[in-house]
Amino acid sequence: MSVQEIPEGIGDLAPEVQATYDDAVRLSDKVVVDGKLTSALTDETFENVNPAWLNVIGSSPRCREADVDHTVAVAKKAFRSWSRVTAKERGDLTRKLADIIEEHADDIARLEALENGNAYTTQARPELDITIEVLRLFAGFASELKGNTVPWLDGTLHYTTRDPIGVVGAIIPWNAPVWLWACKVAPAIVAGNTVVVKTAEQAPLAVLKCTELAQQVLPAGVVNTISGFGEECGKPLAEHKDVRKITFTGSCPVGRQIMQYAADKLCPVTLELGGKSPNIVMPDADLDLAIPGVITGMRFSRQGQSCTAGSRLFLHKDVADEILERTVAAMKNLKIGDPLDPESEIGTIVSQEQFDRVTRYVELARETPGAEILCGGGRPDDPALQKGLFFEPTLIKGVPHESPCAQEEIFGPVAVVFEWDDFTTVLNRANDTEYGLAATLWTRDLNHAMRFVDEIEAGLVQVNQYGAPVSNVAYGGLNQSGLGKECSLESMLEHFTRSRTVIINQGTPDPAINV
C-alpha cells in the first residue's frame, strides 16, 4: 500500500491532509489487541476506499472466528485485574484518555472524513468535541458506581451492589464511528468491563486510531478493536460464550439478528437502531427558528446518514409554501465538496452500495404519479464532483405516505414533505411507522406541545429544536428503533453493570466471646 495511489485530480495536498493519507497507510492491515497495534491472525483483508475520489487509501483485516476467539480471550484475561481497579482510578484513566483524544482530535477527524465522507468542518471535527465530552462525562460518573443500602430489618444487613459484567462486545456503524466508539467504550470501562470493538467495514481507521491512543493510558486488553464483516466477525462476537454484554448501533434487521445471536446465552443487549422521524411545523411556529431547525433536523451536514434525521416533514398548509420556498433556497446554498476541504458543508455518501440505495429511492419517487422533486435528486452539476459519491440534498413532495420513500429508512440526504390541516390526523400520521426514535414539533402553543409530547411514539422528543444526541441526555428509541438508552448515568448503571442483593443476618453471638 502506497500513498502514491492518490489519484490525479486531487492536486497538491496540504501537509495535514498528506499526513492523514500516510496515517491510513500506517494503520492498514492492523488491529489493536492486548495493548498493541498489531497484525490480525487472518491473512485476508478488504480495501478502505475514500468515497470522495474512490481511491484506495488502505486495507483492514477481514477478521473471522479465530480473531474473535483470540481477542475475547485477551479481554477476558484483562477483566480479572481491570474489574478490581477502583472505580475512581478507572474514571481517572478515562479522563486521561479524553485528554489524549483531544490532543489528536484534528488528526482523528481528518481520518474519519477521509474514510467515510463526513465533511471535516461541519461533522467530523464537531464529532470529536462530543466524543471528548462523553469520555469526560462517564469518567466523572465513576463515583456513582454504588448500590443501595436498605434499613436493617429483623437484625439483618440488606444491601445491593453494582458490579461489572465482563467482556462487552461493541459493534458500531460507519456514520459517526468515533462518537459511537466513545458512547460504548466509556461507560463499559468505567463500570469495570473490558471491551472488544468490531468496526464497520466502511470506516475502521479512525476508531482503530482512537483505540491505539487508548493504549497509552489503559492496561493491555481493556479496549481492543478488530475489523471485519457482519456474518464473519460480528456474528461470532455476538454469539461468543465469554461475551456477556452486547451493545450495537445499526440497522433494524441486523439488530434483530444480534438479539437472536445473544438469546441462547441470555446475554443482555442494547440496540440503537433506525428511524424515520417526523418533523411537524404548526401554523403558529416561529419560522425563523423552525426553518433552520428543519434543515438541521434533516442532517444534511451528515449527508442524511443519521438515525435521528427528520426525514418526514409535516407542514401545516397555511405555512407550507413559505417554509418550502425558504427551505429549498437554503438547501441550494449548502456547499458540497471534498470532505477534507474546510469550506465544504456536505461531504459524500459513504459507499457505492449506499449511493445506489439512495438513488433507487429517488428514482422510485420520480416514477410515482404526482410526486415532485423540489430540490436535488442526484449528483451535483459541478464537473469536479462527478467521480465521487456526492449527492445533492433532496426534498420530495407528493409521494403517498405508504410509499417506501416515506416508510423506509433511506439513510441519505433525502426527505419527504407532506401538508396537513388537522392536528389529530398529523399525529396519527407521524406515528404511522414501525420506528420510534426521534420527533420534533415547532409551535408557540403550550397545549399543542404537551399533547404532542404525550401522544408521539418516540424515544427522543423535542419541541422547537431538532438537536442531535448529546452527553448526559438519555438517548434511545421505541418500537423497532431499539432497546435501551445510551449517554447517561442511568444507561451506564442499567446496561454495563449487574446487581447483586446481599442479606447478612447478624446471627447469635458466640457465648465464648467475652464482650
Q: Kindly state the cell numbers that stand for 296.
A: 438541521
Q: Among residues 115, 127, 239, 272, which one is catalytic?
A: 272
Which are the contacts of 508, defined by CB distance < 8 A and separation ≥ 6?
none
Widest distance between CA atoms in the chain: 95
Report the distance separating Cα 11 and Cα 17, nearest Å.
11
Q: What are phi and psi of 178, to 5 degrees?
A: -70, -45
**Do residues 488 and 143 make contact, with C-beta atoms less than 8 angstroms apart?**
no
Contacts of 111 (CB under 8 A, 6+ apart): 20, 23, 24, 205, 206, 209
Cα torsion 376, 379, 383, 387 to 10°: value is 160
Number of H helices and E strands in the chain, helices first, is: 16, 20
Separation between Cα atoms, residue 111 and residue 181, nearest integer Å:
15
Distance (Å, rounded) from C-alpha 322 to C-alpha 330? 12
β-pairing verdict for 45-50 and 55-61: antiparallel
- Measured CA to CA, the distance from residue 299 to residue 313 in angstroms comes to 13
How far, in Å, CA of 203 to CA of 197, rounded?
13
272 is catalytic: yes
Name residues whose C-beta falls within 8 Å of residue 483's C-beta, 6 or more positions apart in sequence.
Answer: 269, 270, 271, 476
C-alpha cell at 127: 464529532
Task: Give dist(CA 109, CA 128) in Å, integer.
Answer: 7
Sheet with 31-33, edge to edge strand ranges: 36-38, 31-33, 223-226, 194-198, 167-171, 243-249, 269-272, 482-483
Residue closest to 240 by CA, chosen among 67, 79, 82, 83: 67
Q: Supply φ then ψ for residue 161, to 5 degrees.
A: -120, 165
**Amino acid at residue number 215:** Q
Query: Residue 307 catalytic?
Result: yes
CA 387 to CA 12: how far, in whole Å?
18
Q: Using DSSP, state whether 414 is helix, strand or coil.
A: strand
Q: Which of 267, 307, 405, 487 is catalytic?
A: 307
Give the C-alpha separation, 2 to 273, whole Å. 37
Note whether 481 and 275 are within 8 A (CB): yes
The 3-state DSSP composition of the chain as helix, strand, coil percent (nearest 5) reads 40, 20, 40
Residues carrying an active site annotation = 272, 307
